[in-house]
Structure 1
């Protein structure tokens, strides 16, 4: 028992670091029933993320069918590998060895990242990059310190920087972090960028569990059946025991 407690205490720092400390997470407010949002998210993913991060547990055809994307449109605009077929898994060409040399570690597959990290974490993470000349790619991240990836959406957001406010604490001025602000050089304004990130996170949530809405719909039917069955069981029990007493 003591060994188990020691092991758990040893793992605690790494768990805290992976969670990103005590940084507040903004609500993603995804809507998996919004097909337009999912389509935009798929477009953003293959254009900005897919070069390094695969979603190797889903197929192009399944994505096209679920998101109401015509197969010819999928082939022409969302499949960049000329040798890939619409029924193939969504893998990319970057090798683990090359990724490890370039980024310090292989880029993780993102099929299930929304289930592992959570949508609020992803939404906040993609909006928490800031300029940091000390880092290899010139950026860092508030909730993932010493991040090893570049800010791939920088052309959309612009160059982001940390914003601080001066507050008095026990009579002393203290610089307190309050958020991220772009320099305005990106293609999108702040609200538009947040919407792009929300669409991307929406797509990643779909990727992690394509049957989620169907599962929830079936769950309601199952609960309804259980309620009806329970009522019938109670009535049947009363009928059987009516003349016993």
Structure 2
């Protein structure tokens, strides 16, 4: 019994010793990610995000698991899809493919850009939201850009005219360890510098729309699945409440 107590004390002591080490490793794993404002039921946000994706992302990135006609699920008509989102010579029933082949992409860009069909499911919404807003100037990179959450990223900053220029700053955080932060030094068309403080509300909203769409695209059926789920729960509630009432009466009828 004494040996067991001694072992337990040793395990507790070891766990207590490892806690700060684990916290240190977590802090070095990357910057804390801000919660992405995702709402897949916000059809206006999804529509804005779909337009951003087709206009800016679909030039290099494909989404071969997604068809244009699925955009009807977020409230777009076939005519709206054709007029605003569909590339020339493409049909509404086509997948969101690109003309650039993988071999050409490797030659021109150094690597083939990944397909983004399920990128939100593999990376997570918070990561994508941070990535889209995390570009900063870096003269050591071939494109002139780097990213706070994806070091040595090969992709250029597609939205730099909207966001402006950010630089990476190293500051002392809690406990004395170094932290990396981004500072806006030159405003873009969707950001402002007011008395030395950055106002990025409009740009952040656009990137939230794009992130929202990427989350939706990772599982387009989730909107309808949620709607069906609510109906099923309501049906079960209406069905089970009377059954529970009569079951209660049956159990308690002989108890006075």
Give the TM-score normalised by the residue count of structure 2: 0.74
- In structure 2, the partner of 1:111 is 117
SS at match of 2:31: coil
Question: CA-to-partner distance for each residue in 1:187-242, whole Å, 9 max, x for gaps?
Answer: 211211111100100111111111213222323344455566666379669959x9
Asked which structure has the greater RCO (Cα within 8 Å, sep 6+), the reply is: 1
- In structure 1, the partner of 2:189 is 187
Matched, 1:211 2:214: no
Distance 2:57 2:35 in 1: 22
- Within-5 A mapping of 1:39-188: 39-63=47-71, 65-80=72-87, 82-165=88-171, 176-184=179-187, 186-188=188-190
1:202 corresponds to which of 207, 212, 215: 212
Distance 2:29 2:115 in 1: 23
Question: CA-to-partner distance for each residue in 1:110-143, whole Å, 9 max, x for gaps?
Answer: 1111111111110011111111111121111111
Distance 2:40 2:114 in 1: 23
Distance 2:179 2:31 in 1: 12
Give the TM-score normalised by the residue count of structure 1: 0.77
Give the conservation status (yes or no) of the 8 Å contact 1:111–1:207: yes
Measure how far apart 1:90 and its partner are: 1.1
Distance 1:75 1:38 in 2: 17
Q: What CA RMSD, in Å, does the superposition of the two structures yield over aligned residues?
A: 2.9
Distance 2:132 2:230 in 1: 34
Aligned residue pair count: 220
Measure how far apart 1:33 and its partner are: 1.7
Change (3 A) 1:227 1:94: same
Change (3 A) 1:33 1:138: same
Gaps of 5+ in 2: 1-24, 192-199
Gaps of 5+ in 1: 1-15
Distance 2:53 2:185 in 1: 21
- In structure 2, the partner of 1:27 is 35
